[in-house]
Structure 1
């Protein structure tokens, strides 16, 4: 008697249950990586632009009255 409750032990006659679990795991992993990559590629330039604008603003002289 095995004490492992491994997903690979659950098999249909043609192995489709294991394939479905593996496919869902791959979708979740790749989806998460895509989300992280998207956040880095979109958010990083926005943060850089905001930092440039901020430091330009605080270092500029006050307007003359």
Structure 2
């Protein structure tokens, strides 16, 4: 069973763009322009996405209580 991941709008947009890279519809350079990120950062989040799935895109503090 897959774990459910909650993403905000920004993270959802990143997920859609990363899926387009995976399908060959978009290049990493085009994705960098669309998302306003560096090519290096696109490569880093793409590697994390390939390793961990959508969970890699979610903010690390999501769901935690403030101190």
Task: Report the TM-score when normalising by structure 2.
Answer: 0.26
Higher helix proportion, which one?
A: 1
What's the TM-score once normalised by structure 1's chain length? 0.27
Q: Which has the higher contact order (CA 8 A, sep 6+)?
A: 2
